Amino acid sequence: MLKVVGLQLRLEDGKKEKNLARALEALRKVANREKEVDIFCLPELFDTGFSYVSLKDIAEEIPGETTNVLMNFAEEFQSYVIAGIAEKYEGKIFDSAVMISPKGKILCIYRKTHLFQDEKNHFASGDKIFVIDLGRFRIGLQICYEVR
């Protein structure tokens, strides 16, 4: 059996440090209560919220401050972490999901390929999909609207 925890957080648009602190507090609370969680999932753009105005200033490269915190958490609790992050890459901004291993290593960075409505005005579109082998399970990453 695969034990997956999805966290829904109250995010504040543009308040990256506050959102990261809130997410880490929630992750630790659940990790200390629920034993042997295989995967922790954080929401789309959990770090920045949907703050399009300041996106270019607060998006970050991966690895970066946000992913470093998540990598440490993943290693400490021996769990995978999947997190939606505003990513700065090659001069563009992506709505990305990063997957981190229980050893604290980045397994993949998925960049949202099917942008919804005006997201095209703020994000570049990704062009790769990933399937991650977790032993008896294989998983892929999608972000929000792409599930449809």
Q: Is 15 a catalytic residue?
A: no
Catalytic residue among 60, 92, 144, 146: 144
Q: Is 108 a catalytic residue?
A: no
Nearest alpha carbon to residue 75 among 95, 48, 51, 105: 105
Q: Is 112 a catalytic residue?
A: yes
Nearest alpha carbon to residue 95 among 147, 56, 44, 129: 44
Give the Cα separation of 123 and 137 in Å (integer): 31
In sign, the C-alpha dihedral spanning 47, 50, 51, 53 is positive
Catalytic residue among 16, 87, 108, 112: 112
Give the Cα separation of 94 and 111 in Å (integer): 6
Catalytic residue among 16, 44, 87, 108: 44
- State the catalytic residues: 44, 112, 144
